[in-house]
Amino acid sequence: MLLLGIDIGTSSVKVSVVDAGSQKAIASAQYPDTESPIISLQLGWAEQSPEMWWEQAQQAIQLCHNSGTYNPQDIAAIGIAYQMHGLVLVDKNQQALRNSIIWCDSRAVEYGDEAFAAIGEEKSLSHLLNSPGNFTAAKLAWVKANEPEVYAKIDKIMLPGDFIAMKLTGEITTSVSALSEGIFFDFKENGLSRDVMNYFGFNEELIPAVNPVFSIHGTLSQSVSQQLRLKAGIPVAYKAGDQPNNALSLNVLNPGEVAATAGTSGVIYGVSDQLAYDPQSRVNTFAHVNYTDEQKRLGILLCINGTGSLNRWTKNLFGANISYAQMNEQARQVPAGSNGLRILPFGNGAERMLNNKLVGVHFHNIDLNLHSQQHIFRAVQEGIACAFRYGLDIMRSNGMNPTVIRAGKANLFLSDLFAETFVNVTGVPVELYNNDGSVGAALGAGIGAGLFASAAEAFKGMERVQVIEPATNHFEEVYQEWKLLLEKQLIAEEAINEVNN
């Protein structure tokens, strides 16, 4: 019995086919080889075409099939993971009305801030567990205000994974987890937020049917099954945002368990059984994949927008002719602390943990006679690790105190230097596993289709490949210096904003 997992990322789409018996991937493929474009028509804007995601998903599925390691007709269920918070709009013919406004787009911050004040900060935080911020509901409010002709044609709103499920099945569904990630869900009322819907003037008919995360979200249509060489009628049995799904893929489902990832963005994601929130909404609380009204499981999410994206930008400018592995080796030639070079890694949209400020990337203490590209390679990874520590300290102040963090051995965690720096800066051991988002989505499909008796059964074959323990406190001094530079930069940003206003 085989399971197909599709992970709709910002940079590319990855697909894995997993054997349900062993819980191991027998084929994986990624498309495209180069990074997908992000359309930025104005400063702080970020869009992608939903049809591009669909084309990439089809190409990645066909690449998996072409491996010849399995019979596509043996695939029994499909699961989808997707980049969170993106807004997709379709008309009555299920045609996309505009590009998706994706997670790192900053245009809707003021709409969320105004809603936060109008609804009331205490009520927003206690009912939504977040401020409306720059999430999907605020993005929809921007469309309503600025593109009324588009808004008038909307039949349904959805998240990126909902769009791919719709293309596979012709059906449109959502879940409590998805509604909470879009800031449409009221946890105290256990339903769609009347406050959000009424404040923004949204019609409830825009919201798709609500299904459990692990359930049948539609079955594969005849036409698409022929195109993709799959059986017609197999279910899409799981849909979840990439960070809840990453946690699932690492078997992070119970209170106190914590996952991390460092792809395009960087995330620490901890599970709680409390309806808790950060008073400043710098970290966010969403319904986890296994949330129910009877057994509340919340995901506490710290997001840093530009981790892997900064590493990629650095490679393009300073290491275009070498591999990431060679970059990492060159970085190792430089002592810890990068001889004083410090980098603030915040150049990919408004940062939630910095109160939705657009800070940008900043290089500090460059010595033209000392620092080389090797120093830049190392300082980038150290700056990203320091940003994780800054966010983790916010999570700690809100009661999330991990004793171990699980991560997939992928993206920046492929760098031993980064993994060691992360551990030494945060002071928390890291366990690395080979599972990734597409494998997690496949196993989620097996749970949703009833092929596993429980989530625990789906992950009984998960193998830990490495444990990294803190080895030095040298980085505390580096971190404190980095933090001081960040605080000075935030004060400078405030002063500039006051002058401009």
Output the six-digit token pair for 2: 């085989």
Output the six-digit token pair for 290: 């296994």
Tokens 């830990």 belong to which residue?
464
pLDDT at 97: 98
- Of all residues in the chain, the percent with pLDDT exceeding 70 is 100
DSSP states of 159-175: -HHHHHHHHHHS--EE-
What's the pLDDT band for 349 if we cut at 50, 70, 90?
Answer: confident
Amino acid at 326: Q
Is the predicted pLDDT of residue 496 greater than 90, yes or no? no
**Whole-angstrom Cα distance, residue 176 to residue 132?**
16
For residues 22 and 275, the answer to whether their CB atoms sit within 8 Å is no
Going by C-beta distance under 8 Å and a sequence separation of 6 or more, which residues neighbour residue 333?
Answer: 374
- The pLDDT tens digits for 376-415 are 999 999 999 999 999 999 999 999 999 999 999 989 999 9
What's the pLDDT band for 350 if we cut at 50, 70, 90?
Answer: confident
For residues 55 and 18, the answer to whether their CB atoms sit within 8 Å is no
Strands (DSSP E) contained in 226-376 are: 236-241, 258-262, 266-272, 284-287, 298-304, 342-346, 360-364
pLDDT at 276: 87
- The pLDDT tens digits for 436-489 are 899 999 999 999 999 998 888 999 888 899 999 999 778 999 999 999 999 999
Q: Is 86 helix (H, G, I), strand (E, B) or coil?
A: coil
* Cβ-count burial 12-33 (b if 16+ within 10 Å, e if not): bbbbbbbbbeebebebbbbbee
pLDDT at 456: 86
For residues 68 and 74, the answer to whether their CB atoms sit within 8 Å is no
